[in-house]
Amino acid sequence: MLHWTQHVDGVPQHDYCVAVATSEQKLYSFSGYYMEKKMDVHVFNTVSLGWEKLTRGPNMVICHDGYGYTAVLIGNTVYVWGTAWKWWYCNVLYAFDVDAHRWFQPKVSGTVPEYTDTRGHSVCALQTVMFIYRGYSDVTGRSDVTHKLDTSTMVWTLINTGGTPPPGSPGHSATIIGTKMFVFGGGASYENSISVFDTESNLWLDTPSPKLLPEGRCDHSAFNYNGELYIFGGYSRYNDDDVIVWKFSPETFSWKNVKHKGKGPYGPPTPDPVETVPLPRTLLRRRSPYPGPAEGEGKRT
């Protein structure tokens, strides 16, 4: 059984941030939502359990502030892409060297994703290739456009996909397991479907429907551990802070609620994975910025 073991104070306070973990047991956090300053970079040491804010030196070209961006670690470089600020969007790729603590802007070529693709997209990496699944566009609405960037050549490619894509939705997650990309969730109607994209054949695969499903959610965390997909947190239809942990097995194509002990980020674990429990107002974060369920589907409380 999983067990929460540490509660660390002094976490940087930001309304929006993304984070990546390195092999040196450090967590890099990039933040910049609704701030009148450029993006901050904080480092969390998982051994000493301490936070450090990096000093901005003359060789640090800080990328744009805003929200909606994603980050992925390939080698010793964190690639940050896709920023939105009110009605302003950016599709420029920025990079951060975790060894030299230096920002730079790589020169890219090929079919660069449109700037309107930046809101609601997801990113994941397979070896040296970064995949971006759009899911939502402020211009066209739901979308199934997929791009990839080969960081060894810095060439963007628009992937000509086949098969049936997932219902495009902002706030979903995309996770690489093996050579496949697993897309889950989203905030347009609180999706709980999971779709699989084969990066070798460029096909969305036909998959069975799991008997047990997590409650639909968006803005959750997702990661691959030992070949299985874990999801945590996010917004569900009736809870703004969902502390339930779920595990998905690609081999059996089935979900399992993961029991866990200890005090999690928002208090004790929810006692029942099926019946969602409203949290005290003092623990609620801002509500999801994405549209809620359609009329007649119920409403958030």
CA distances from 119 to 13, 84, 86, 216, 267 (A): 22, 7, 11, 20, 30
pLDDT at 275 exceeding the cut of 80 = no
Last residue of a domain, one of 82, 106, 130: 106
Maximum average pLDDT range among 54-63, 105-114, 255-264, 272-281: 105-114
Residue 141: pLDDT band with limits 50, 70, 90: low
pLDDT at 288 exceeding the cut of 90 = no
pLDDT at 287 exceeding the cut of 90 = no
Mean pLDDT of the chain: 78
Nearest to 216 by CA among 237, 232, 244, 240: 237
- Count the domains in the chain: 2
pLDDT at 284 exceeding the cut of 50 = no
pLDDT at 85: 62
Kindly state the tokens that stand for 214.
């997590």
Domain range for 283 is 110-292
Which value, to the nearest 10 degrees, does the dihedral of the CA atoms of residues 141, 147, 149, 153 take?
-130
pLDDT at 215: 87
Co-location of 43 and 172 in the same domain: no
Co-location of 24 and 96 in the same domain: yes
Burial class (CB in 10 A: 0-12, 13-18, 19+), 10: exposed
Three-state secondary structure of 105-118: CCCCEECCCCHHHC
CA distance 158 to 138: 19
Co-location of 123 and 98 in the same domain: no
pLDDT at 177: 98
pLDDT at 154 exceeding the cut of 90 = yes
Residue 242: pLDDT band with limits 50, 70, 90: low
Co-location of 206 and 136 in the same domain: yes
Residue 218: pLDDT band with limits 50, 70, 90: confident
CATH number of the structural domain spanning residue 250: 2.120.10.80
pLDDT at 240: 58
Co-location of 102 and 154 in the same domain: no
Co-location of 86 and 210 in the same domain: no
CA distance 177 to 228: 7
Q: What is the pairing mode between strands 129-133 and 146-150?
A: antiparallel
pLDDT at 191: 86
pLDDT at 38: 65
**Domain presence at residue 1:** no
Q: Which of 38-52, 108-122, 202-216, 217-231 has the lowest mean pLDDT?
A: 108-122
Last residue of a domain, one of 47, 74, 106: 106
Last residue of a domain, one of 106, 131, 162: 106
CA distances from 283 to 11, 88, 238, 286 (A): 16, 31, 14, 10
**Domain presence at residue 2:** no
Co-location of 136 and 240 in the same domain: yes
Co-location of 169 and 282 in the same domain: yes
Q: What is the pLDDT of residues 16-54, one digit of tens each?
A: 677 888 877 899 988 765 444 567 788 999 899 898 888
Neighbours of 206 (CB within 10 A): 8
Classify 207 in phi/psi space as left (phi over 0), alpha (psi -120 to 50) or beta.
beta
pLDDT at 293 exceeding the cut of 70 = no
The pTM for the full model equals 0.82
CA distances from 141 to 43, 137, 244 (A): 35, 5, 29
Long-range contacts of 33-37 (CB under 8 A, 24+ apart): 33/65, 33/66, 33/67, 34/67, 35/65, 36/65, 37/65
Q: What is the pLDDT of residues 69-118, one digit of tens each?
A: 888 999 999 998 887 666 667 788 989 999 988 888 899 999 998 765 55
**Domain presence at residue 299:** no
Kindly state the tokens that stand for 32.
């910049």
**Domain presence at residue 48:** yes
Co-location of 93 and 149 in the same domain: no
CA distance 186 to 173: 8
Co-location of 204 and 58 in the same domain: no
